[in-house]
């Protein structure tokens, strides 16, 4: 078989199935053919691992512990101030709640502003602690690292006009780096919060954890501070005091204007006596008129020869006692005010009780009904001695009584209307006084409640100012000289493995994409023909093939 035939491409045909021997041939052939490339890729991977280890600075960690104590400031809520919560401890913040609050990005920006963005973003000098006892290879590596750190871009953002420590872009980048380097956790079964942060030097790691702990404590104090609540409630207390004073002044002015301070107002005693006297006179006049008419009728009947009519008067008429009814109405009004809601003040309650006792004592001594005009009732008898000329006098008396009754009726109606008007006015004044009293008592109660609440706020606010927060440092940040990363040996091993894998993939792909027939078994498998002989590729044969044509000539 000639070499040109062996090097020719395979004829197009159906792709045979891959078998185990062919796969081994592909792998072994590819590795043997591209062994140099595999070694090259492996060396490149190791070199990449070494470079990654060099550009990564040493990392050191620092740890601290914070203790969360739950006090009155943490339990204070609007519901607890109103007494709507049975157990305020149910609303106490947990360690998980505290960690979520302390994970605020704004807090890391505050720490980055205090430390400076460059302090957080720029790696520390790796040779800062090198001395005469440091091995030369370590000093060489530290020197190379320092040059790499100075030459590599991206430590501080260069795509903007940096304003220094106050640059917003640098602060955001430093805050993200700080949040990535910091870990917060809690110890199970306790109120201890673990704070861990890594940096490029032990001192910087300790300083960073201390700054974070201070920022966490300040954030806790701000979250549960009472000072803002005190300042918000101070105007409310002052306004409540003004409302209370205004209500008290309005009530006092009403008392001074009306002269009414105790129970319900009454009609003037003179007006009541006048009405009673007018009623008596009117009753007597009507009774006398009736008697005169009866006598005239008797005289007229006697003149006609008819017997005198017999008149029978019933028992004495009893009417309700108006004074008793008035006192009873006062008592009912005072009882209604005593049972009103909100309840009156203690001083007002005492006045009401005293007035009710006085009225009850007066009612016990006063009859509920009285006899009406009993002295005016006269029994008309048959008087046979009355002369007939008396009818004329009786007619004159009847006319005079009619005029008198008209005058008394008009006067009584006038007095009654005036009395009703006075009663209505007094009732309106009493209702106004009650309204002002309720307003005064309500303003007094509200002012007292706000004053008591404000006193509690001021007490807790004094604790804010003079005492520490309930989040305290339990363990100060540690200073640990042992580095926690990077693991350069692990990076080198990863580079070797990645380079070897890349080289193997490259060798197999190169062998697979090569369409030339290089092995007899592949030829036999594809063409189904046995291979009778193989001409090896040897340098002497190549030399012979070049010189044979010249010798033939």
Question: 96 and 22 in one domain?
Answer: no
Residues 76 and 23 in one domain: no
On whether both 178 and 267 belong to a single domain, the answer is no
Residue 207 is part of which domain span? 57-224+469-485
Task: Give the whole-angstrom CA distance, residue 115 versus residue 301.
Answer: 131
Q: Tokens standing for 147? A: 């040059």
Length of the chain: 553
Q: Which residue has the higher pLDDT, 325 or 495?
A: 495
- Is the pLDDT confidence value at 543 over 80? no
Task: Reduce the DSSP state of residue 261 to 3 states and report it.
Answer: coil
Give the CATH number, domain containing residue 178. 3.30.1890
Q: What percent of the chain has pLDDT over 90?
A: 20
Same domain, residue pair 128 and 195: yes
What residues contact residue 217 under an 8 Å CB cut-off, 6+ apart?
66, 469, 471, 472, 473
DSSP 82: T
* Closest listed residue to residue 485, CA positions, set 131, 199, 204, 180: 199
Same domain, 68 and 193: yes
d(CA 525, CA 486): 53
DSSP 270-289: HHHHHHHHHHHHHHHHHHHH
Q: Whole-prediction pTM value?
A: 0.56
Closest Cα to residue 486, out of 57, 126, 4, 22? 57
Q: Give residue-wise pLDDT tens across range 520-535.
A: 777 777 778 888 887 7
- The mean pLDDT value of the chain amounts to 76
Examine residue 247 and state whether it is found in any structural domain, yes or no. no
138 and 268 inside one domain: no
Task: State the helix-helix crossing angle for 346-364 and 322-338, rounded to 10 degrees.
Answer: 160
**For residue 539, what pLDDT is reported?**
63
Tell me the pLDDT tens digit for each residue of 146-189: 777 765 554 545 555 566 667 888 889 999 999 999 999 998 88
Number of domains in the chain: 3
Largest interatomic CA distance in the chain: 208
Q: Which residues of 290-305 are buried (b: 16+ CB within 10 A; e: fewer)?
A: ebbeebbbbbeebeee
Highest averaged pLDDT of the listed ranges 226-235, 362-371, 532-541: 226-235
- Rounded mean pLDDT, 247-267: 71
Question: Residue 52: which of 483, 489, 501, 481 has the closest Cα?
Answer: 489
Most trustworthy range by pLDDT among 106-120, 326-340, 342-356: 106-120
Is residue 324 domain-resident? no
Give the confidence band of 445 by pLDDT, cuts at 50, 70, 90.
very high
Residues 91-135: tens digit of each pLDDT: 678 889 899 989 999 999 999 999 988 888 888 878 777 777 778
Q: Structure tokens of 448? A: 């007292």
The band of 318, judged by pLDDT with boundaries at 50, 70 and 90, is: low
CA 226 to chain CA mean position, Å: 15
* Residues in a beta bridge with 183: 196
pLDDT above 80 (res 70): yes
pLDDT of 312: 44
Same domain membership, residue 273 and residue 405: yes
Q: Is the pLDDT of residue 350 over 70?
A: yes
Residues 536, 437, single domain; the answer is no
- Determine, yes or no, domain membership for 256: no
Is the pLDDT at 6 greater than 60? The verdict is no
Distance CA 263, CA 359 (A): 10
The whole-number average pLDDT for the span 359-365 is: 81
Is 13 contained in some domain? yes
Q: In this structure, are 431 and 283 located in the same domain?
A: yes
In a domain, 229, yes or no: no
Does 359 fall in a domain? no
Pairwise CA distance, residues 262 & 329, whole Å: 14
- Asked if residue 84 lies in contact with residue 71, where contact means CB atoms within 8 angstroms, the answer is no
Do 548 and 405 reside in the same domain of the chain?
A: no
Specify whether 436 is located in the same domain as 412. yes
Do residues 171 and 274 both lie within one domain? no
Tokens encoding 133: 């006892």
Q: 307: pLDDT confidence band, cut at 50, 70 and 90?
A: low
Which range, of 49-58, 138-147, 459-468, 485-494, averages the lowest pLDDT? 459-468
Average pLDDT over residues 311-326: 61
Has residue 73 got a pLDDT over 80? no
- Model confidence band, residue 262 (pLDDT cutoffs 50, 70, 90): low
* CA distance linking residue 251 with residue 443, whole number of Å: 12
Which tokens hold the place of 520? Answer: 């007899």
Q: Which residue has the tokens 């006090």?
A: 71
Inside any domain, residue 346: no
What residues contact residue 159 under an 8 Å CB cut-off, 6+ apart?
none
Examine residue 352 and state whether it is found in any structural domain, yes or no: no
**pLDDT at 349 exceeding the cut of 60:** yes
């Amino acid at each position: 078989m000639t070499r040109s035939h062996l090097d020719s491409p395979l004829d197009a045909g159906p792709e045979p199935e891959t078998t185990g021997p062919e796969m081994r041939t592909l792998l072994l052939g590819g590795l043997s053919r591209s062994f140099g490339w595999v070694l090259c890729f492996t060396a490149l991977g190791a070199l990449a691992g070494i470079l990654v280890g060099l550009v990564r600075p040493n990392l050191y960690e620092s740890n601290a512990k914070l203790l969360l104590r739950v006090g009155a400031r943490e339990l204070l809520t609007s519901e607890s101030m109103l007494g709507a919560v049975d157990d305020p401890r149910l609303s106490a913040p947990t360690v998980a709640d505290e960690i979520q609050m302390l994970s605020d990005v704004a807090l890391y920006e505050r720490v980055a502003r205090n430390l400076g963005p460059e302090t957080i973003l720029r790696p520390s000098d790796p040779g800062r602690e090198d001395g005469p006892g440091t091995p030369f290879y370590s000093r060489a590596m530290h020197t190379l690292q320092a040059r790499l750190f100075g030459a590599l871009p991206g430590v501080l953002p260069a795509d903007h006009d940096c304003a220094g420590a106050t640059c917003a872009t640098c602060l955001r980048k430093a805050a993200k780096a700080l949040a990535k380097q910091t870990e917060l956790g809690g110890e199970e079964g306790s109120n201890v919060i673990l704070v861990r942060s890594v940096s490029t030097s032990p001192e910087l790691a300790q300083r960073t954890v201390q700054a974070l702990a201070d920022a966490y404590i300040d954030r806790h104090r701000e979250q549960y501070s009472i000072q803002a609540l005190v300042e918000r409630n101070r105007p409310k207390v002052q306004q409540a005091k003004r409302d209370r004073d205004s209500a008290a002044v309005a009530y006092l002015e009403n008392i001074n204007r009306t002269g009414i301070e105790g129970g319900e107002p009454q009609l003037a005693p003179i007006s009541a006596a006048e009405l009673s006297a007018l009623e008596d006179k009117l009753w007597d006049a009507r009774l006398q008129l009736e008697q005169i008419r009866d006598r005239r009728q008797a005289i007229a009947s006697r003149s006609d020869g008819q017997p005198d009519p017999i008149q029978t008067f019933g028992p004495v008429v009893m009417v309700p006692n108006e004074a008793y009814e008035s006192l009873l109405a006062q008592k009912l009004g005072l009882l209604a005010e005593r049972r009103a809601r909100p309840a009156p003040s203690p001083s007002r309650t005492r006045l009401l009780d005293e007035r009710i006792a006085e009225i009850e004592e007066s009612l016990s001594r006063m009859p509920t009904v009285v006899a009406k005009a009993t002295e005016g009732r006269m029994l008309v008898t048959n008087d046979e001695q009355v002369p007939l000329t008396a009818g004329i006098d009786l007619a004159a008396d009847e006319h005079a009584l009619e005029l008198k009754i008209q005058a008394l009726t008009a006067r009584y109606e006038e007095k009654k209307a005036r009395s009703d008007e006075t009663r209505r006015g007094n009732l309106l004044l009493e209702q106004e006084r009650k309204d002002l009293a309720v307003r005064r008592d309500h303003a007094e109660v509200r002012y007292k409640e706000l004053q008591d609440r404000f006193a509690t706020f001021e007490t807790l606010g004094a604790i804010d100012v003079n005492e520490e927060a309930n989040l305290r440092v339990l363990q100060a940040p540690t200073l640990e000289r042992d580095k926690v990363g990077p693991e350069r040996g692990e990076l080198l091993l990863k580079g070797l493995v990645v380079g070897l894998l890349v080289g193997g993939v490259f060798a197999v792909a190169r062998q697979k994409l090569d369409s030339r027939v290089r092995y007899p078994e592949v030829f036999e498998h594809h063409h189904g023909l046995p291979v009778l002989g193989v001409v090896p590729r040897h340098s002497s044969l190549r030399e012979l093939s070049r010189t044979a044509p010249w010798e033939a000539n």
